[in-house]
């Protein structure tokens, strides 16, 4: 008489327990023959496709998936050729929803011939959703590290990197670049008179105007407070530079809608050039800041070049430019 505790014995009761386990599994489990007809399925198919384990028997893969069948036909070919196939796919359900799924097809051999395959399908939608959320959070964190939170413009960290790469490009192609500091004249008065909320709105609108005024290849940066820096790469001529400066001043021609009474405003602008005014981001930014100070000292609402580039004949007339 065999010991009832012998683990090698498998009674009908054990089979029922195994089926119970399979039917309580959230993943879809099934066996399909070489003709892609279902010979076994667990009750998870009822949650996914509205079909019980019994109703699944005899159904074809094409009938079950409908228009989605061509998307997995290649995977079925691979498993029927004797190779295990693991892949991800969004599965369309009868109610119109989709589930991100991890699918495993495992071939079943008999005497070296593939008789069919086992299918294991897990809903990984929560994991995919978490993955998307983490990716979005990472991108947001990266943007916060390199962009101004108020205006969305690049910040100093990103600006210095772009100036450095632009300098390297200028060394190859011989074309100068400009680093231009832009300051809003009397901005403190706007904050003190109308409040910081209005001031923030003004900064956002000015940032949009400056970005719209510049070329796609230019970089507009908010340095903090009411100061911006514009990086203009690959200048072909003095005329190009004058045009870019005029575009900056044109951005101040129209009063800001968020200011009560639509009060006018103006810019003071300081211009530094590579290679005349510096060979590094720090040198060029300091030079443009010094030029900005000169413009303010000369009466605001104008632009000025740094001491070095101002000595160049081509730039002397631009020094006294006024936008209004």
Catalytic residues: 226
Dihedrals φ, ψ of 53, to 5°?
A: -55, -40
Q: Rounding to the nearest 10 degrees, give the CA dihedral for residues 183, 218, 264, 156.
A: -30
Burial (CB count within 10 angstroms: exposed 0-12, middle 13-18, buried 19+), residue 119: buried
Q: From the CA atom positions of the chain, what is the Rg in Å?
A: 34
Residue closest to 254 by CA, chosen among 244, 265, 243, 245: 265
In terms of DSSP H, where are the helices of 176-253? 187-194, 196-213, 238-250
Tokens of 11: 């009674």
Cis preceding-peptide flag for 41 (omega within 30 of 0): no
**C-beta of residue 210 within 8 angstroms of C-beta of residue 248:** yes
């Amino acid at each position: 008489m065999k010991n009832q505790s012998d683990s090698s014995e498998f009674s009908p009761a054990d089979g029922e327990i195994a089926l119970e386990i399979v039917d309580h599994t959230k993943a879809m489990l099934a066996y399909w023959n070489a003709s892609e007809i279902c010979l076994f399925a667990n009750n998870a198919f009822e949650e996914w496709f509205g079909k019980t384990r019994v109703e699944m028997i005899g159904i074809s893969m094409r009938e079950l998936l409908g228009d989605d069948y061509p998307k997995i036909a290649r995977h079925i070919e691979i498993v029927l050729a004797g190779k295990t196939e693991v892949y991800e796919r969004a599965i369309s359900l009868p109610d119109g929803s989709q589930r991100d799924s991890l699918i495993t097809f495992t071939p079943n051999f008999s005497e070296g011939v593939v008789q069919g395959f086992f299918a294991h399908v897990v809903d990984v939608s929560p994991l995919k959703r978490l993955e998307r959320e983490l990716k979005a959070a990472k991108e947001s964190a990266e943007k916060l590290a390199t962009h101004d939170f108020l205006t969305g413009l690049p910040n100093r960290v990103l600006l210095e990197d772009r100036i450095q790469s632009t300098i390297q490009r200028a060394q190859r192609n011989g074309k100068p670049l400009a680093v231009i500091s832009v300051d809003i004249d009397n901005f403190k008065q706007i904050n003190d008179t109308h409040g910081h909320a209005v001031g923030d709105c003004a900064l956002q609108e000015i940032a949009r105007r400056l970005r719209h005024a510049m070329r796609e290849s230019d970089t507009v940066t908010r340095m903090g407070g009411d100061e911006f820096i514009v990086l203009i790469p690959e200048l072909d001529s003095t005329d190009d530079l004058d045009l870019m400066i005029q575009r900056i001043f044109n951005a101040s021609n129209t009063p800001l809608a968020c200011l009560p009474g639509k009060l006018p405003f103006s810019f003071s602008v300081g211009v530094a050039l590579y290679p005349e005014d510096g060979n590094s981001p720090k040198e060029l930014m300091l030079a443009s800041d010094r030029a900005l100070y000169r413009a303010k000292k000369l009466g605001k609402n104008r632009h000025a070049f740094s001491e070095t580039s101002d000595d160049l004949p081509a730039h002397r007339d631009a020094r006294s430019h006024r936008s209004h």
